Amino acid sequence: MASFRFLHCADLHIDSPLRGLEADPDAPAARIRAATRDAFIALIDYAIAQNVAFVLAAGDLYDGEWQDWRTGQFLIAQLGRLARATPPIPFIAIRGNHDAESVITRRLDLPKPARLLNATRPETITLPELGVRIHGQSFRAREVTDNLAAGYPAADPGMLDIGLLHTSVDGREGHASYAPCTVQQLRDHGYAYWALGHVHTREVLWENPWIVFPGNTQGRHARETGAKGATLVTVQDHRITTVEPITFDTVRWAQVAVPLDGVSDEDTAFALARSHLSDALAQAEGRLLAARILLTGATPAHTALNRDTGATREKIKAEAAGLAGIDELWIESVAVSVTQPRTSDLPPGRLSPELDRITTADLRAAAARYSRDLLDKANALREALGEDHPAVAAARDELPDRLVERARALLRARLEEA
């Protein structure tokens, strides 16, 4: 059998907007808004340049609720490039939970040899010249709780079997449980490679056989940090020899924690933040870095940092502006979570112990009332903010402790200042 390589990608979420970036007239909006497309274009460029044998996409080409036909056209245009390559490069995909019910998918006519696998039963694509069989089954609905992998055909000892599956194998934290299965099950199935999708973080669950989440091609918010792309698999003599990540993202997300323990003043804190940002910027390798700054630790500068977090945010942004242009570095948010040092010798006062005694439970009702008042101002606001947003959580009587501590720190800073 000839040696060949193939690309395994998943969770492209084409045209899904990046989240958490506030509007700014100076921001490189085009670069940010085209990030998911650019990442996919880079993937296609790479596939053609490297002359891979085929490309596998393990679901979630785009968001299910997204109905813009242009997204489908873009996908077709890019797949057309693969089809026009010499020799043509097959693109074999399954639908995931996001694009299962997509109106785009239903009417999409992929350019041959691209294929979207069946949703009613497992489908097998055989590439006899490579000795490869690719098995997969698309999601027929958003929530598939069946163990799809169990129905996949048995392995053929004479072939290199690859399973294409959108799943939350063994259950992954932060991901809905779809098409559940276990690593053990996949290992026992006899396939040489399981090309998984659904989890946005790159993860190799097993080697020999390979069970791989390639992660998504472009991080879409501050929790999807680090390099994003696809997985390049090399096959030699019917054996998978290397599995390596290839980076395609154009906007890099980073959470930059700045520990300020022992930092004596505000200027030093900002200088430290600048230093950490500089490191993160270097790791972005020229991509636009969208950074979330988290100031932590116990520091005498807590008063200055806490008393006006908006001003702190702006100062951090000013530091960032001094470090790199806005087309290189973009501050997504600045979270201030600093406390006063334990050794701080402050006048205790009578309020202080009372403040310490107040718990999250004491504030839950007030926070819920206020949050509900505001969240009810617009439909779908809760959904847009997400269940994790502290106001949304507070509205359902689940006020986060960290918000209470932030309020306590603010209060201490303001009282101390007074």
Partner 1 sequence: MRLTALSLTRYGNFESQRITFDPRPGALNLLLAPNGAGKSVLRAAFCDLLFGIGGQTPMGFRYGYPGMRIAAEAVGPDGSPFTFGRRKGQGNTLVDAEGTTLDPATITRLLGRTDRTLLERLFALDTERLREGQDELFASNGALADALESGAGGFHHARRLRKALEEARDSLAPTRRSASRPFYAALDRFTAARRSVSASLLRPDQWQKQQQALDAAIQRQTDQNRIADTASAEIARLERIRRVIPWLAEHDAAAVWLAAHPDAPVLDPGLAARLAETRSAIVLADHRLQQDRATAARLADQQQQIAVDAAVLAEAEEIDRLVDGAGAARKAAADRPNVTAQAEARRADVAALLRDLGSALPVDQAAAAIPPSTATRRARRLHANYAARLEAVRRAPAQVADRERERDAALAQRAALSAAGGLSGLDALVKEIRSDGNPAFRKRESEAALVAATEALGAALARVPGWAAGLEALVALAPYLPEAYERMFDDLAATRTEVARQLDLRHTARQARNEAQDRLTALTAGGPLPDEASLAHSRERRDTGWRLIFQRAFTTEPPEPAAEQAFAGPLPLPIAYERAVTAADRIADRRVQEAASVANAQAAQTALLDAETRVGGAETAYRIASERRDQTARVWSQVCAPLRQGDDPALREVLAFLTARDRVIDARQKHAAAEAAERALDASHADWVARLVALLDDGAATKTPPPLAGGGWGEGAPLGEPPAVRGYLPPPPPPNPLPQGEGESGLRAGLPSLLAAADKRLSDAQRAEKARAAADARVDSANKSLDQARAAQRDAETALAGWRADWAGALQALGRPPDEDPDVTDDMLQVYAALEQAQKEAASLTERVAGMTRDIARFSAATAELTGRVAPDLAASEPNTAVSELRRRLQQVREQAKQRALVADQHRAAVAAAETAARQLAACHAERDAVLALIGADDVEAAEARLALAAERARHAAALAEAAVKLREAGDLLPLADLRAEVAAVPPDDIPAGIAHAVQQRQDAQAAAQEAAAAASALRQQMKQAEDDTGARDAAADQQAAVATIGRVLEDALVQHLAAEMLDQALAAVEREGDTAVLRRISALFTRLTGGAYARVLTETDDLGPPRLTLLQRDYPDERQSVRELSEGTRDQLFLALRLAAIEEHAASAPPLPFLGDDILQTFDDSRALAAMQVLREVSETVQVILLTHHRHLVELAATLPDGIVHVCRIGAAAETAVG
Q: Which residues bind partner 1 (CB under 8 A)?
A: 15, 17-23, 29, 32-33, 66-70, 72-73, 103-104, 106-107, 182-184, 309-310, 332-333, 345, 347-351, 354-355, 357-358, 362-363, 366-367, 370-371, 373-374, 377-378, 380-381, 384-385, 389-391, 394, 403-404, 406-408, 410-411, 414-415, 418
C-beta contacts of 41-44 below 8 A and 24+ residues apart: 41/78, 42/248, 42/250, 43/7, 43/9, 43/217, 43/229, 43/230, 43/248, 44/78, 44/79, 44/81, 44/82
Q: Which is nearer to partner 1, 286 or 349 (CB)?
A: 349
DSSP 3-state of 19: coil
Q: Tell me the CA distances in angstroms from 154 to 151, 189, 192, 215, 287, one per residue in order.
A: 9, 7, 12, 26, 43
Q: Which is nearer to partner 1, 271 or 374 (CB)?
A: 374
Could you tell me the smallest distance in angstroms from the CB atom of residue 218 to partner 1?
14
Could you tell me the smallest distance in angstroms from the CB atom of residue 275 to partner 1?
20
Q: Tell me the CA distances in angstroms from 282 to 66, 105, 286, 293, 307, one per residue in order.
A: 35, 39, 8, 16, 31
Could you tell me the smallest distance in angstroms from the CB atom of residue 131 to partner 1?
30
Could you tell me the smallest distance in angstroms from the CB atom of residue 122 to partner 1?
22
Q: Which is nearer to partner 1, 45 or 68 (CB)?
A: 68
Contact 120, 136 (CB under 8 A): no
> If you ran DSSP here, which 8-state letter would residue 14 be given?
B
Q: Which is nearer to partner 1, 133 or 406 (CB)?
A: 406
Q: Which is nearer to partner 1, 32 or 324 (CB)?
A: 32
Tokens 């030093």, residue? 268
Tokens for 52, please give them: 């891979």
Q: Which is nearer to partner 1, 21 or 284 (CB)?
A: 21
Could you tell me the smallest distance in angstroms from the CB atom of residue 191 to partner 1?
18
Strands (E), 207-250: 210-213, 229-236, 239-247
Could you tell me the smallest distance in angstroms from the CB atom of residue 123 to partner 1?
24
